[in-house]
Protein backbone atom coordinates (compact mmCIF):
# COMPACT_ATOMS: atom_id res chain seq x y z
CA UNK A 1 0.00 0.00 0.00
CA UNK A 2 1.18 3.55 -0.66
CA UNK A 3 2.23 5.84 2.13
CA UNK A 4 0.27 8.92 3.13
CA UNK A 5 2.00 12.00 1.67
CA UNK A 6 1.55 15.74 2.08
CA UNK A 7 -0.18 17.26 5.13
CA UNK A 8 -1.33 14.82 7.79
CA UNK A 9 -4.84 13.61 7.17
CA UNK A 10 -7.39 13.72 9.99
CA UNK A 11 -7.09 9.94 10.32
CA UNK A 12 -3.31 10.06 10.64
CA UNK A 13 -3.54 12.81 13.23
CA UNK A 14 -5.97 10.66 15.18
CA UNK A 15 -3.56 7.71 15.04
CA UNK A 16 -0.81 9.83 16.59
CA UNK A 17 -3.14 10.79 19.42
CA UNK A 18 -4.14 7.16 20.03
CA UNK A 19 -0.54 5.98 20.21
CA UNK A 20 0.12 8.65 22.84
CA UNK A 21 -2.79 7.47 25.00
CA UNK A 22 -1.63 3.85 24.75
CA UNK A 23 1.92 4.70 25.84
CA UNK A 24 0.82 6.41 29.04
CA UNK A 25 -1.20 3.44 30.37
CA UNK A 26 1.27 0.56 30.08
CA UNK A 27 2.62 -1.40 33.07
CA UNK A 28 4.90 -4.47 33.26
CA UNK A 29 3.10 -7.82 33.09
CA UNK A 30 3.44 -11.49 32.24
CA UNK A 31 0.50 -13.33 30.69
CA UNK A 32 0.35 -17.08 30.10
CA UNK A 33 -1.64 -18.43 27.18
CA UNK A 34 -2.94 -21.79 26.07
CA UNK A 35 -2.06 -21.84 22.39
CA UNK A 36 -2.78 -23.71 19.20
CA UNK A 37 -0.28 -22.96 16.44
CA UNK A 38 -0.77 -24.47 12.98
CA UNK A 39 -2.97 -27.21 14.42
CA UNK A 40 -0.69 -28.23 17.29
CA UNK A 41 -1.17 -27.50 20.99
CA UNK A 42 1.41 -25.12 22.42
CA UNK A 43 2.19 -22.87 25.37
CA UNK A 44 2.33 -19.12 25.00
CA UNK A 45 3.80 -16.32 27.10
CA UNK A 46 3.45 -12.58 26.58
CA UNK A 47 5.76 -10.39 28.67
CA UNK A 48 6.27 -6.65 29.04
CA UNK A 49 9.43 -5.63 30.92
CA UNK A 50 10.61 -2.14 31.77
CA UNK A 51 14.27 -1.58 30.82
CA UNK A 52 14.64 2.00 32.00
CA UNK A 53 12.68 5.15 32.58
CA UNK A 54 11.23 5.23 29.07
CA UNK A 55 12.32 1.94 27.46
CA UNK A 56 10.52 -1.41 27.38
CA UNK A 57 10.91 -4.94 26.00
CA UNK A 58 7.78 -6.68 24.73
CA UNK A 59 7.94 -10.40 23.96
CA UNK A 60 5.60 -13.07 22.63
CA UNK A 61 6.76 -16.70 22.78
CA UNK A 62 4.69 -19.62 21.48
CA UNK A 63 6.21 -23.11 21.47
CA UNK A 64 5.77 -26.85 21.62
CA UNK A 65 8.15 -29.76 20.94
CA UNK A 66 7.99 -29.18 17.17
CA UNK A 67 8.00 -25.42 16.68
CA UNK A 68 8.77 -22.12 18.40
CA UNK A 69 7.65 -18.63 17.44
CA UNK A 70 9.41 -15.86 19.36
CA UNK A 71 8.82 -12.17 18.70
CA UNK A 72 10.56 -9.38 20.62
CA UNK A 73 10.23 -5.62 20.25
CA UNK A 74 12.20 -3.01 22.16
CA UNK A 75 10.38 0.32 22.26
CA UNK A 76 10.34 3.57 24.15
CA UNK A 77 7.77 6.11 25.30
CA UNK A 78 10.10 9.12 25.44
CA UNK A 79 7.81 11.10 23.14
CA UNK A 80 4.66 10.00 24.99
CA UNK A 81 3.94 7.45 22.24
CA UNK A 82 4.72 3.79 21.66
CA UNK A 83 7.82 4.01 19.46
CA UNK A 84 9.53 0.81 18.19
CA UNK A 85 13.34 0.81 18.33
CA UNK A 86 14.22 -2.75 17.31
CA UNK A 87 12.56 -6.09 16.66
CA UNK A 88 13.68 -9.72 16.52
CA UNK A 89 11.28 -12.31 15.09
CA UNK A 90 12.40 -15.95 15.18
CA UNK A 91 10.66 -19.06 13.87
CA UNK A 92 12.22 -22.41 14.76
CA UNK A 93 11.07 -25.75 13.40
CA UNK A 94 12.75 -29.14 13.46
CA UNK A 95 16.17 -28.51 11.93
CA UNK A 96 15.34 -25.02 10.67
CA UNK A 97 15.53 -21.46 11.96
CA UNK A 98 14.35 -18.23 10.35
CA UNK A 99 15.07 -14.83 11.87
CA UNK A 100 14.16 -11.28 10.84
CA UNK A 101 15.77 -8.31 12.59
CA UNK A 102 14.25 -4.84 12.43
CA UNK A 103 15.83 -1.47 13.23
CA UNK A 104 13.75 1.69 13.61
CA UNK A 105 15.98 4.78 13.42
CA UNK A 106 14.00 7.80 14.57
CA UNK A 107 16.89 10.18 13.89
CA UNK A 108 17.00 9.33 10.19
CA UNK A 109 13.28 8.39 10.17
CA UNK A 110 13.95 5.07 8.49
CA UNK A 111 13.20 1.40 9.26
CA UNK A 112 15.31 -1.47 7.91
CA UNK A 113 15.27 -5.27 8.16
CA UNK A 114 17.96 -7.92 7.91
CA UNK A 115 18.44 -11.64 8.49
CA UNK A 116 16.42 -14.27 6.66
CA UNK A 117 14.48 -11.76 4.58
CA UNK A 118 14.03 -11.25 0.84
CA UNK A 119 15.44 -8.30 -1.07
CA UNK A 120 11.96 -6.73 -1.12
CA UNK A 121 11.57 -7.21 2.63
CA UNK A 122 14.90 -5.50 3.33
CA UNK A 123 13.97 -2.30 1.49
CA UNK A 124 14.21 0.72 3.86
CA UNK A 125 10.86 2.26 4.79
CA UNK A 126 10.39 5.94 5.81
CA UNK A 127 9.10 6.37 9.35
CA UNK A 128 6.39 8.80 10.44
CA UNK A 129 5.73 9.72 14.06
CA UNK A 130 3.11 7.31 15.41
CA UNK A 131 4.16 4.31 13.28
CA UNK A 132 3.99 0.93 15.03
CA UNK A 133 5.27 -2.54 14.27
CA UNK A 134 2.87 -5.53 14.32
CA UNK A 135 3.65 -6.67 17.88
CA UNK A 136 3.05 -3.24 19.43
CA UNK A 137 -0.49 -3.18 18.05
CA UNK A 138 -1.40 -5.66 20.83
CA UNK A 139 -0.71 -2.94 23.40
CA UNK A 140 -2.33 -0.13 21.44
CA UNK A 141 -5.64 -1.86 20.76
CA UNK A 142 -6.28 -2.64 24.44
CA UNK A 143 -5.94 1.00 25.48
CA UNK A 144 -7.91 2.26 22.50
CA UNK A 145 -10.78 -0.24 22.87
CA UNK A 146 -11.17 0.64 26.55
CA UNK A 147 -11.10 4.38 25.72
CA UNK A 148 -13.59 4.00 22.87
CA UNK A 149 -11.09 5.36 20.33
CA UNK A 150 -10.90 4.43 16.63
CA UNK A 151 -8.66 1.42 16.03
CA UNK A 152 -6.54 2.64 13.11
CA UNK A 153 -2.76 2.19 12.96
CA UNK A 154 0.04 2.72 10.46
CA UNK A 155 2.18 -0.42 10.63
CA UNK A 156 5.69 -0.78 9.21
CA UNK A 157 7.06 -4.29 8.72
CA UNK A 158 9.44 -6.08 6.35
CA UNK A 159 9.84 -3.38 3.73
CA UNK A 160 6.20 -2.28 3.71
CA UNK A 161 3.88 0.19 5.36
CA UNK A 162 0.18 -0.53 5.80
CA UNK A 163 -2.77 1.32 7.24
CA UNK A 164 -4.61 -1.15 9.47
CA UNK A 165 -8.07 -0.61 10.92
CA UNK A 166 -9.78 -2.97 13.36
CA UNK A 167 -13.56 -3.01 13.69
CA UNK A 168 -15.61 -3.72 16.80
CA UNK A 169 -17.83 -6.66 15.87
CA UNK A 170 -19.62 -7.21 19.17
CA UNK A 171 -19.22 -8.38 22.74
CA UNK A 172 -18.80 -11.86 24.15
CA UNK A 173 -18.67 -13.36 27.64
CA UNK A 174 -15.22 -14.83 28.36
CA UNK A 175 -13.59 -16.46 31.36
CA UNK A 176 -10.72 -14.34 32.69
CA UNK A 177 -8.90 -14.32 36.02
CA UNK A 178 -11.38 -16.67 37.65
CA UNK A 179 -14.50 -14.80 36.60
CA UNK A 180 -16.72 -14.17 33.60
CA UNK A 181 -16.22 -10.80 31.93
CA UNK A 182 -17.83 -9.11 28.96
CA UNK A 183 -15.13 -8.80 26.29
CA UNK A 184 -15.13 -6.46 23.31
CA UNK A 185 -14.50 -8.49 20.16
CA UNK A 186 -12.59 -6.77 17.35
CA UNK A 187 -11.69 -7.90 13.84
CA UNK A 188 -9.16 -7.10 11.12
CA UNK A 189 -9.25 -8.64 7.64
CA UNK A 190 -6.44 -8.50 5.08
CA UNK A 191 -7.29 -10.50 1.97
CA UNK A 192 -7.75 -14.13 3.00
CA UNK A 193 -6.35 -13.51 6.49
CA UNK A 194 -8.41 -12.47 9.50
CA UNK A 195 -7.41 -11.57 13.06
CA UNK A 196 -9.90 -11.55 15.92
CA UNK A 197 -9.07 -10.25 19.41
CA UNK A 198 -11.05 -10.16 22.64
CA UNK A 199 -10.39 -7.23 25.00
CA UNK A 200 -11.45 -6.85 28.65
CA UNK A 201 -10.85 -3.73 30.79
CA UNK A 202 -8.76 -5.54 33.43
CA UNK A 203 -6.17 -7.07 31.06
CA UNK A 204 -3.21 -5.18 29.50
CA UNK A 205 -3.18 -7.52 26.49
CA UNK A 206 -5.88 -9.36 24.53
CA UNK A 207 -7.34 -12.25 26.55
CA UNK A 208 -7.88 -14.16 23.33
CA UNK A 209 -6.45 -13.90 19.81
CA UNK A 210 -7.45 -15.97 16.79
CA UNK A 211 -5.87 -15.82 13.34
CA UNK A 212 -7.26 -17.58 10.28
CA UNK A 213 -6.20 -17.90 6.65
CA UNK A 214 -8.85 -18.87 4.08
CA UNK A 215 -11.11 -19.76 6.99
CA UNK A 216 -8.57 -22.17 8.52
CA UNK A 217 -7.26 -21.38 11.98
CA UNK A 218 -3.50 -20.77 12.09
CA UNK A 219 -3.14 -19.39 15.63
CA UNK A 220 -5.26 -19.34 18.77
CA UNK A 221 -4.15 -17.78 22.06
CA UNK A 222 -6.31 -17.97 25.20
CA UNK A 223 -5.02 -16.21 28.32
CA UNK A 224 -4.87 -18.51 31.35
CA UNK A 225 -3.06 -16.33 33.91
CA UNK A 226 -1.85 -12.76 34.41
CA UNK A 227 0.84 -11.45 36.74
Mean pLDDT per 10-residue section of the chain, whose length is 227 residues? 29 34 70 90 96 93 93 93 96 94 98 97 96 94 91 96 95 90 95 96 93 94 94
Q: d(Cα 180, Cα 184) in Å, to the nearest integer?
A: 13
Write out the H or E segment, with its range, that includes residue 137. Answer: helix 137-147
Q: d(Cα 62, Cα 71) in Å, to the nearest integer?
A: 9
Q: d(Cα 201, Cα 27) in Å, to the nearest integer?
A: 14
Q: d(Cα 176, Cα 173) in Å, to the nearest integer?
A: 9
Write out the H or E segment, with its range, that includes residue 21. Answer: helix 10-25
pLDDT, residue 25, reads 64
Amino acid sequence: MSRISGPLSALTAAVLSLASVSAMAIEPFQAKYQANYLGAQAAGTMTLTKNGSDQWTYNLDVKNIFIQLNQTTVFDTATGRLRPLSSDDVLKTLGNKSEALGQYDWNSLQATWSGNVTSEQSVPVPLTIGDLNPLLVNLAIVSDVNAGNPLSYNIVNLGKTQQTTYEVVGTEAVSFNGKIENATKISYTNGSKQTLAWIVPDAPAPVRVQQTDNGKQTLLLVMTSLN
